[in-house]
Structure formats: C-alpha cells, structure tokens
Amino acid sequence: MTRIVIVGAGPAGINAAETLLAHGRQPILLDEGRQAGGQGYRKPSPGLRLDMNALMGSEASKYQALHERFESLRGQIDYRPGTLVWGIDGKTLHLQQDGRATTLDYDALVIATGAMDRIAPMPGWTLPGVFGLGGAQVALKDQGCFIGRRVAFLGSSPLLALAARQYRALGAEVVVIADTTPFVRKLAALPALLNSPRTLLRGLAYLGGAMRAGVPVLHGVTPLAVAGDGHVESLLIRDAKGRERRFACDAVALGYGLKPETQLAELAGAQLAYDEAFRLWLPQADADGRAGDGLYLAGDGMTIGGADAAEASGALAAHALLADLGIPSDAAAVAALRRRASRLRAFQRGLSQAFAWPVAQIRALPDDVTLCRCEKVSLGEIRQAMAQELGPTEVNRVKAMTRCGMGRCQGRICGPALQEIVAGVGNIAGAEAGRLRMQAPIKPVALAAAKAGAS
C-alpha cells in the first residue's frame, strides 16, 4: 500500500488526514509540536488552564471544532507528535524524535508546514524584550504568559490587532498598535479584501475594540528605535504626520506578515518562484497543491492564505493525492474547495498590499542596525562587502562574504530583509537578488541524536 506521510498537524495537515481517512487511507501525520493544532489554533500546554474562549474570541468555535475533529481522528491514523522532519533525501524523510535521529520512507508526501513571522530589522530590535508577533502569541497560548506587562505591537500585519486583542483579553496593557503601511494603501486594497467580508469585518472590529479602549492605533509609521538599558524600555516611531512619538513599554511584538516555511518543499523537489506581491520565494504547485511526483503542498506553507484557506487546501491536496492514486472522489466537493481556497488566497493578496512589507524603510535603515542576529552582522557590513571591488551581488555570495544568514536559524529570520538590502544596493529586482539555498538540516540537529539513532 502506498505510504502517505503528512508533515504538519495544523489546520491544513489535519484536513488532509481527515480527507484521506474518509477515503480509506491511513496517513502518517508528523508534527514537531507536542500537540496538534498548528500555529493559529495552538492549544495550551497540558495542565495549563487558559480561557480559550476569551483568547480565541470570534474564532473560538472554529478552534474547538478543529480540535474535536482531530480527537476523533487521532486513534485511526498514525500520529507522531514531537517529530521534527529535518531533511529529505530522495523519498526518505530524516526525523528527530525523542532525541533520536531516525528515517521514514514515503511514497506520497503532503507538506503542510505552515508559516513563521516575517521580521524587518530596526534599531534596537535585538534587545531582550523584542519578540516576533507569532512568538508573542505562542507565549500566550502555549505557556499562558505575556511577553511583557506593557506591550507595543509594531509592524504591518492584520495579526497585530488580533494579537493585541488577545493580550488585552487576558489582561495585558497594549500601549500602541503601530502599522507601517499608510492608511491610503489599505483603502486601495479594499476590492481584494471584499473577497472575505467576514474576515475584513473581524479585523476592523479588533481595531475598533482597541480604539474604544483608548489604545493608539497608528498607520503609516516609521519605526525609529527600540530603546532601553539591557531591556526594552520604550519604542520610538515617527507617525504619519512626521512627529516623533515615544511609547513607554517593556516588550515589543514585531510582525510583518507571515513567511511560508518552504524548506522541506524545496528539499522535496518543489520549484520556487519569486512572488512580487508578497516579495517572497514561494513553492510552485497547481491549484490543488501538486508540486511534483508524489509531492503535495497545503496551507500557509504553500502560500499565505490564513486558517480557513489552510483547511480547504489541506483537503484539496488530499483529493489530488487520491485522484493520482486512482481513487475517485467527489468532484463537486473538490470544485467547492477550489473556489473557497482561491477566494481566500485572493483576500490574502489584498492583505499583502493593505499590510505591505516596508521595502523602502528597510533599505533606508542605518548602517549600525543588526541584520543577522545569529551571526551579528550589521547592515553596514553588507553594504561595505557589496561596495568593494569584485564584491558580491547576490544573496548567497553576500552570505559567504559576511556570514549573514549562516547561523542557527539559517536565514529564516534575516533572509527576507537581506533580499531587500541586496536588491536595493545592487539596484536590481527582488528576484535577481537570488534566493538563499537550502540544505538539510533545516533545523539544528544534536550530535547526540545521531549517536542515539545509530544504536
């Protein structure tokens, strides 16, 4: 029997598993996390009691539903939590589970690895107390703790208002929601946003709630600095009217939308192409998620679509896989899923303009700002390396010359900003700046795991 492996137990992976099971196939479902649910629908750690209704707000019922569906599924599939896929060699997955390196062969693979925060650096962003926006949510949902008592939310993302609402719902003080995209660009994106009026209204409601509670909500800001002596003490920005404003706070959550986790797709053989709207390299797949022979992509790991699109695309990928195995499935259901996924993705394209990646701001950052925090490489070092005789003009060579992107995170954090800097200095298109090439391990693997795996 064809061995089907799904990587990622978020909404996409769970829906893929459910669809496969409904058609008589039992997939193996791997997730690095200890609990299923993925990022948005993350469950509190066992033993931690959190008011998930208050936390999830209008999405509480979807959160409940997904976890209930998963519970009824888990006994019937081969679910392996705590299992990191760190590499792919041909049709063999390399795993790390309970501190041991093992392997797992597959015939068909569904990659539903989701996304992570996209970060733009700024002066002071490496100070303790600055978190990725997603990290701020993980701290809350997984551990029930705040990243600070008085938190500033900065970046350009609909999740800023969402996370701020979650923080307020559980009792933290939100000192500002500061968005770098000007208000007029949000208006310009309205037609695309009307693809999902419900989500649009929800986003507006979060902002309305914050404003009614007296939280300053600013658009079109320029981040100037996170300041503090050994720890965050304030956030300094320039507002749309050109005034400098300082907000006292003890933590900053930074987020510029999400960035698909494409490493496994790349190692499995998916082609990547540069997307001008998101300004990211995205794996290529057909409308149902086919990305190669026996290779299927779903959810935010393929292209940012949000949790609802992830659910639809997970089911779609499973239908595609079943069809390729010659197993008939419901054509009307597939057509409906396609319409739904495509509408939701069109909405996300609108979001990518309403909450734009601040290219000009990144390129204007001063030389002393750290770009790569793993290797402590500043923007000035990149510019200097590129300016010298026979200097590098493409991201992989810049990495070789400066170490930017060479550290623990392998450029997952600094990569998008590096791309903009290189394109800016070289005065070339984003795509021409190249793409940081991936080699396994996609996440660090301990020597001890290799030893334990061999015994």
Partner 1 sequence: MTRLSADVAIIGGGLIGVWSAYFLAKRGQRVVLLEKDVVGAQSSGTNFGNLRLQGRFPGQYPLSLRSQALWEQIETLIGDACEFEATGHLYFASSEDEWRKVEAYAAVSESHGLTIEHLDHVDLRRRYPWLSDKAYAATYSARDATANPRLVTPAVARAAKGLGVTIVETCRVTELRTGDGAFSLATDTGLSIDCGQVINCAGAWALAIAEQFSETAPLFPAGPPQFVTEPFPYFIRPSVQAVDGTVIFRQIPRGNVILAGYPRTAADPVANRAPVPLAKTLAAMRHLGAAVPALESCHVIRVWSGIEGYLPDMIPVIGPSLTTPGLFHAFGFCGHGFQIGPGVGLCLSELIVDGETQTPLAPFSIGRFTGAVEADEKFRREFDATPAAGNKP
Ligand X SMILES: Cc1cc2nc3c(=O)[nH]c(=O)nc-3n(C[C@H](O)[C@H](O)[C@H](O)COP(=O)(O)OP(=O)(O)OC[C@H]3O[C@@H](n4cnc5c(N)ncnc54)[C@H](O)[C@@H]3O)c2cc1C
Which of the choices ligand X, partner 1, none does residue 98 contact, using the CB cut-off of 5 to 8 A by kind? none
Site string for ligand X, 123-162 (x = CB under 6 A): -----------x--xx--------------------x--x
- Angstrom distance (rounded) from CA 267 to CA 451: 24
Query: Which of 81, 135, 380, 407 lies at the binding interface for partner 1 (CB under 8 A)?
Result: 407
Q: Binding of partner 1 at residue 453 (CB under 8 A)?
A: yes
CB 226 within 8 Å of CB 123 = yes
Residues 269-308 that bind ligand X (CB under 6 A): 299-301, 306-307
- Please list the residues that pair with 28 across neighbouring strands: 5, 78
CB 79 within 8 Å of CB 23 = no
Which of the choices partner 1, ligand X, none does residue 208 contact, using the CB cut-off of 5 to 8 A by kind? none
Which helix (H) or strand (E) covers residue 160, if one does?
helix 158-169
Question: Which region, judged by CB under 8 A, interacts with partner 1, from 85-93, 149-157, 412-420, 423-431?
Answer: 85-93
User: Torsion angle of alpha carbons 185, 190, 191, 197, nearest 10°?
Assistant: 160
Which of the choices partner 1, ligand X, none does residue 88 contact, using the CB cut-off of 5 to 8 A by kind? partner 1
Tell me the backbone φ, ψ of residue 2, rounded to 5 degrees. -60, 130
Residues 63-92 that bind ligand X (CB under 6 A): 84-85
Listed in sequence order, the DSSP H helices in 42-157 are 52-56, 60-74, 133-143
Q: 75 — alpha (psi -120 to 50), left (phi > 0) or beta?
A: alpha
Query: Which of 89, 330, 367, 368 lies at the binding interface for partner 1 (CB under 8 A)?
Result: 89
Question: Which region, judged by CB under 6 A, interacts with ligand X, from 9-17, 229-237, 330-338, 395-403?
Answer: 9-17
Nearer to ligand X, 147 or 369 (CB): 147
Q: Binding of partner 1 at residue 447 (CB under 8 A)?
A: yes
Reported in sequence order, the residue ranges of 276-330 that DSSP labels E, i.e. its strands, are 280-283, 290-292, 295-297
Listed in sequence order, the DSSP H helices in 196-305 are 197-212, 263-267
Report how far apart, in Å, the C-alpha atoms of 285 and of each of 111, 187, 292, 308, 440 are: 12, 31, 8, 19, 22
> Which one-letter DSSP state was computed for residue 379?
H
CB 317 within 8 Å of CB 109 = no
Q: Binding of ligand X at residue 31 (CB under 6 A)?
A: yes
Query: Which of 8, 223, 289, 350 lies at the binding interface for ligand X (CB under 6 A)?
Result: 8
Q: How far is the CB of 119 from partner 1 (least distance, A)?
A: 19
Q: Binding of ligand X at residue 109 (CB under 6 A)?
A: no
Q: Binding of ligand X at residue 13 (CB under 6 A)?
A: yes
The Cβ-side half-sphere exposure at 61, using a 13 Å CA radius, reads 1
Report how far apart, in Å, the C-alpha atoms of 128 and of each of 93, 229, 232 are: 36, 10, 6
Q: Binding of partner 1 at residue 426 (CB under 8 A)?
A: no
Query: Which of 323, 401, 428, 431 lies at the binding interface for partner 1 (CB under 8 A)?
Result: 401
Nearer to partner 1, 109 or 318 (CB): 109
Site string for partner 1, 275-294 (x = CB under 8 A): -----------------x--
- How many residues contact ligand X, by CB under 6 A? 35
The Cβ-side half-sphere exposure at 141, using a 13 Å CA radius, reads 22
Q: How far is the CB of 379 from ligand X (least distance, A)?
A: 26
Interacting residues toward partner 1 by CB under 8 A: 87-90, 92, 94, 101, 267-269, 292, 388-392, 397, 400-401, 406-408, 410, 439-441, 444-451, 453-454
Interacting residues toward ligand X by CB under 6 A: 7-13, 30-33, 38-40, 84-85, 112-116, 134, 137-138, 159, 162, 258, 261, 264, 299-301, 306-307, 310
